[in-house]
Chains A and B, each alone.
Chain A
Amino acid sequence: MAQKISDFRKLSKKFLRNGTAILGIALLSFFIVIAIFAPFIAGENGDNPYQIPRVSWSSKPIAPTAEHPFGVIGGRDIFYGVIWGTRTAFQLGLIIASCAAVIGILIGSVSAYFGGWVDEVLMRIVDIFMSIPFLVAAIILTTILGKGLDKVMMALIVFGWMSTARLIRGNILQAREEQYVLAAKALGQKNFIIIVKHIIPNTIFPVVVQMSMRIGSYVITAAGLSFLGIGAEPGYADWGTILSYSRNWMTMLDQSWFAIVFPGTAMVLFVLAWNLVGDALRDIFDPRLRN
């Protein structure tokens, strides 16, 4: 125990000396604070807070004012959308990434554990899913399922688990051949303990790192779908939805820049935060990189 505590102290010290890791944590904390305090920062819209309040009936963009600090587009308050959109981004990223990871881990480990024809069949399914161009599949799926953020999430989960499955399968197959696994067997260790103590720790962490890196990219993809008009319902507090309003004003950026810059900046910083955190996690999980 004492070892663990001193370890933790050493790690956190190292972590804090690492500039990019601090930046990542700071950014992520910033977003978390915004998500938690959204009602206090931007107010709450009646019975459906995830609907951006309509402040104007004209579709013309209104430049930032004191009342609407990020401006207005499509009659919607961008500030409200960006702030509440933080919650949406967390929901999207975390739910998609964790569901895709769970499915991927399950399929990958079943594939590796049973081997033989089970492995063969599952890996062919992975191949098929991977061969379908993602955007086309997502468009078709959302057309079938209908509009809405939940449908977008579903599409992203259905087409998002394959690389995790491959990663975990490869890792398990590799770990199983490692001589330290054979050594544990030679010492008389039980199979179950070998899996828990030797194989899982050496296979699961890369997946966690991958997951954190992908949370950001899922948010971008969801925004892309919203921008194409096959994502969230109009008026939903989502960064992609705000961007989609600017579609009609693309040629008049001088009048609509704020509809791109504010949600766009939020998105870029969100992706950056998760990537930096992913990097930091990798350093933490791998004792070889702790020097």
Chain B
Amino acid sequence: MQNNTLLKVNNLVKYFPVKAGVFRKTIAQVKAVDDVSFEVKKGETVGLVGESGCGKTTAGMSILRLYEPTAGQIILDGKDTSYYFLSRRKAKKFLKKQYTEKFEKMKQKYSSEDQVIKNLNDEFNKQAAKDYFENPHKFIEKMMDMRIKGRSEFRRKAQMIFQDPYSSLNPRHRVKTIVGEGAKINELVENKDELKAMIEDILKKVGLSVDHMSRFPHEFSGGQRQRIGIARALILKPELIVCDEAVSALDVSIQAQILNLLNSLQKEFNLTFLFIAHDLAVVKHISDRVAVMYLGKIVEYTTKDQLFEKPLHPYTVALMSAIPNPDPENKSHRIILEGDVPSPINPPSGCPFHPRCPIAKDVCSKEVPQFKEIEEGHKVACLFPGKLKR
């Protein structure tokens, strides 16, 4: 694994069962996140964009294990954290499936351990296979030992800033209780004075004042509340922060302030952001790379510059045409997408975008486009990438 990768998500899946009847039988699955893979480098900001309901929040929450993922591997800072929050039994099952069975099967297929390692496609799993073959039993045991300790380490390293500045703060708690909660849980301080000093320090960093400590959330404006939420996450000195539409509930002028704050905090604390947004306009200002999501899948992933210069997926092109263009000379026509986002319970066959895609061909409803690298650092899931022009 490259040293500068902080987060690596492999084949993340999250289905919500739909239950009905007196016996609550599962009659269908909401495929909110369906096989999502991407990675985030240390210190960068990755934007995750897509229309409402495409699974952005679910992806963010599953990565942070606020939802239990249905399947997939979440690697943070070179450690597989996927099984940390599972029960002992489920964790064992996960490790057996993810490592023991997979590696043994590959070993039979390729007949040598070296070949297995060579055929694995990512650095993390290559290293894991190496360690595994050295001593399979010890490899699994060591991972199980790390489970409980890993939980608090993960909580400290990965935090979230929520969308709704109203629902995200407990109305009955004072600012100092809200902001101090993480420090207390993770025992970052020895005594009350230290805690107070820490809270004061962090409040100043997010642009609030010490007098705000004893107030209740309702005494603040939306922007200030969002600052409190940022302080709550920041007190743990996390490395990764998932910002779920952190500014979309705010006035435009306040949005800029909060974005600037996040920007300066990123520099000061060397933070890595996964920045969820529903339109490209916000993402354009802060992201280094952008992942475009549609119906539970990532359809395009590349650097921001490349994406805005040369979008390859028709969905991205359509989203881009929706950004208001201030330059009257350079007027590109707006591509209106027909129809609504299909239900994630019953996604369309073939390419999930085909019912709305302006350039869909017959083959699109039959063949599932693979998410693959088309040019250096530019991944797309489309059978005819780059064919829809702006």
Contact = CB atoms under 8 A, between A and B. Distances in A.
A206 to B, nearest CB: 12
B232 A183 contact: yes
B167 A179 contact: yes
B216 A288 contact: yes
Contacts, number: 70
A197 to B, nearest CB: 8
Interface string A156-184: 00000000000000000000001110111
Interface in A277-291: 286-288
Interface size on A, as a range, is: 20 to 34
Interface stretch (A86-94, A135-143, A186-194, A224-232): A186-194
Given A117-B24, A187-B182, A201-B172, A287 B159 contact: no
Nearest to A201: B172
B155 A287 contact: no
B185 interface: yes
A172 to B, nearest CB: 15
Contacts of A46: none
Interface in B17-32: 19, 22-24
A187 B236 contact: yes
A185 interface: yes
Instruction: Specify which of B156, B172, B218, B233 lies most central, judged by the most chain A CB atoms within 10 Å of its CB.
Output: B172
Nearest to B178: A180
Contacts of A120: 22, 24
Contacts of A186: 64, 66, 155, 158-160, 233
B162 interface: yes
Given A120-B24, A186-B64, A287 B185 contact: no
B170 interface: yes
Is chain A's interface secondary structure helix, strand, loop, or mixed overall?
A: helix
Interface residues of B, number: 35
A185 B66 contact: yes
A116 interface: yes
Nearest to B169: A180
A198 interface: yes
B186 interface: yes
A189 B181 contact: yes
Contacts of A185: 66
Most chain B CB neighbours (cut-off 10 Å) among A3, A121, A183: A183
A69 to B, nearest CB: 49
Contacts of A116: 19, 24
Given A117-B23, A182-B66, A183-B232, A188 B156 contact: yes
Nearest to B19: A116
Given A179-B167, A179-B168, A188 B162 contact: no
B385 interface: no
Contacts of A287: 171-172, 216, 218
Nearest to B155: A188
Nearest to B176: A3
B170 A187 contact: no
A184 B23 contact: no
A202 B170 CA distance: 9
B277 to A, nearest CB: 17
Interface string B150-178: 01100110111011100111111000001
Interface in A94-144: 116-117, 120-121
B185 A189 contact: yes
Contacts of A179: 162-164, 167-168
Contacts of B52: none
Contacts of A202: 170-172
A8 B152 CA distance: 36
B170 A198 contact: yes
B192 to A, nearest CB: 11
B263 interface: no
Given A179-B162, A287-B216, A187 B232 contact: yes
B298 to A, nearest CB: 23
Contact of A180 (B22, B66, B167, B233): B167
Interface of A: 3, 116-117, 120-121, 178-180, 182-189, 198, 201-202, 286-288
19 contacts: A117-B23, A121-B22, A179-B162, A179-B163, A180-B168, A182-B61, A183-B160, A183-B168, A186-B159, A186-B233, A187-B155, A187-B185, A187-B232, A188-B151, A188-B186, A201-B172, A202-B171, A202-B172, A286-B171
Please give me the 7 A-B residue pairs with the lowest Cβ-Cβ distance, nearest first.
Answer: A188-B155, A179-B168, A187-B182, A180-B170, A179-B162, A179-B167, A288-B218
